[in-house]
Amino acid sequence: MWGRIMEVNIGDMQIKYPELTVEFNETFDMDTTPLVSEIKLYNLSDNSIAAILQEKTVTVNAGYQDTGLFCISKGELRQAFTKFEGRDKITTLRTLNISPDINALYMKTYSKGTSLKDIFTDLLSGSGVNITTLQVPSVSIPKAYHLKGKKVDVLKKLCKEFGISMTIDNTGLTQIGKVGSLGEDTGYLLKAETGLIGSPIPVIDEEGLLKYEVKSMFLPGIKALSKLRIESKTLTGNVIVISGSHDLSKDKWVTSLEVETLA
């Protein structure tokens, strides 16, 4: 329907939609905790299920026939189970979307005055992650730092201490930077003609901040800290994604977002 295409790659196995029924769901936000994706595969043979259980990495590509496939999830297989619903045998996979290399142990001491950017560059070197933007404050550490632990944990600690936003999903680290200072590119233009469903709904969060709930046709590549330009009856302007979800089920392919406006 609507030219939707999806493929799930697990080891040497490739499962394609719409040839087979496949569903995908992922919720994302600005937390540094790696995302968990859920993939449902319908009516696989017992041999196929057994082969899946021997693998460690699951990659999901999805998109439309006219735009092609995009990698929307690549992670470690953490849980798998099969159950029956009516005539369907449904195998559910849950993956943790993080590069295994970023879990490697790290230990190094940095002297007072070392730039924060140099430390991040060291941490990310050879970690196997893709970095969309590396925008680290131009500051030097005020004292000697002895960093020890998993790379991802060290990154989280530094981000918290220096007020940096970081998300981890799909192939690894996606963004380092401060919200509101992520450059001038406004990214994807979202309006009725490009997939916007209805009009954004204004909401006031617990801190009294104005945000908007946005729903659209599935938008590959959109995640926390992505920037969009929205043109609609209730909101026209540049926004940044705070949280959201991709829901690719049998009857709908929808991306739901919570966004804040950018000045």
pLDDT of residue 179: 46
Q: What is the pTM of this model?
A: 0.76
Average pLDDT over the chain, rounded to whole? 86
CA distance 24 to 38: 6
What number is the average pLDDT over the span 154-170? 77
Strand extents, DSSP E, 125-205: 133-134, 145-150, 165-169, 172-177, 188-190, 201-204
CA distance 73 to 39: 10
What number is the average pLDDT over the span 139-147? 91
pLDDT at 88 over 50: yes
The neighbour count for residue 230, using CB atoms within 10 Å, is: 24
* 234 phi, psi to nearest 5 deg: -100, -15
CA distance 103 to 94: 18
Of residues 77 and 152, the one with the higher pLDDT is 77
Instruction: Enter the CATH code of domain 4-97.
Output: 2.40.10
Domain boundaries, the chain: 4-97, 101-177, 188-261
pLDDT tens digits for range 226-255: 889 999 999 999 999 999 999 999 889 999
Q: Which CATH architecture has domain 101-177?
A: 3-Layer(bab) Sandwich (3.55)
101-177 against 188-261: fold identical? no
Instruction: Enter the CATH code of domain 188-261.
Output: 2.40.30.150
